[in-house]
Amino acid sequence: MEKSVVLVTGGAGYIGSHTVRLLKDKYDVIIFDSLFRGNIESVPQDVKFVKGDLLDKEALNRVFTENKIDSVIHFAGLAYVGESSQKSELYYNVNVNGSFNLFAAMSENGVKEIVFSSTCSIYGNSAQNPIDESQPPVPSNRYGQTKRMVELLLKDFELSYNFRYVSLRYFNAAGCSPTGEIGEKHTPEPHLIPVVVLAALTGATVSVFGNDYNTPDGTCIRDFIHVCDLATAHISALDYLKETKKSEIFNLGSGTGYSVLEIIKKVEELTGLKVKYNILGRREGDPAVLIASSEKAANVLNWKPEYNLDDMILTAFNWFKNPKF
């Protein structure tokens, strides 16, 4: 029996590449990635790779016409909160226009199922924590706003073209493959845990953006989720789509929040290394607290995180000590 074919946009990126490693055991996978921030070294040799950009309509249509694609997992996009405030045009172009081109190509080629990599940034400064899916989307930064616009596009494509989608609003991805086979490589590196781990290894100084938030130690609190737990959630979401043919939105997180200073202390504790840091002013668009309620994903997708904060830090530490690319 032939496997169903899944196109993974951004499959050479951090979360995409970890997902592909698990997905290929169950589905035939084709990766579509511009390699702007992806890494060809993270692509498995037994997975078909197509270098292409979502802004290139011809390349997108070609990948659909040349392959019998059944569904899509959509990771491709830009995801730096700070950068999104400085480069709004770039973010709207890549994230919104690129996604529109993808959905149009899907529609033209009869592909109706998609799992979308969304974000907790959609919720902005939510009055409720933990945040569940009933909370209104009020993004506080350009990145979150572009993701919200893509979700609205998906809803419109559902109404007009019978699309079915699952939007996964996940919180802060962290950690690396426990095998050390693949990991995280961003230039620049925007994520807190790898920034702190790298500072421990190199002696660099961590920038802490604000210590005057309404939190116990004044620094932002975030919910962290291991990249491999996110990978299993995407596969569960795709299975759900195929079984139910129903669109849904799910939060993905651990349900526990840690402040920036708590992460620094935890990295020092687990590695035995000292981490230097400087307190700077607040960064535009950063909510004080973001913690997920993932009860809906647990109940509907039967998904629960398997990795804890120690796992996230230690797998990241092992990767950055000996990166393979």
Please give the positions annotated as active site.
143
- Distance in angstroms (rounded) separating the CA atoms of residues 197 and 200: 5
Count of Cβ atoms closer than 10 Å to residue 44 Cβ: 16
Q: How far is the CA of 167 from the CAs of 43, 86, 205, 233, in angstroms?
A: 24, 26, 36, 11
What are 222's strand-pairing partners?
258, 290
Tokens of 226: 């291991």
- Distance in angstroms (rounded) separating the CA atoms of residues 291 and 47: 35
What are 276's strand-pairing partners?
205
185 and 12 Cβ atoms separated by less than 8 Å: no
Strand runs (DSSP E) across the chain, as ranges?
5-9, 28-33, 48-51, 71-74, 113-119, 164-170, 172-174, 205-209, 221-226, 248-252, 257-259, 276-280, 289-290
Burial 159-193 (b: 16+ CB within 10 A, else e): eeeebbbbbbbbbbbbbbbeeeebbbbeeeeebbb
- What's the chain's length in residues? 325
Look at strands 113-119 and 71-74 and give their pairing: parallel
**Which DSSP symbol is given to 185?**
-
| Of residues 148, 32, 34, the one with CA closest to residue 84 | 148
**Which DSSP symbol is given to 54?**
T
Tokens of 51: 């270098």
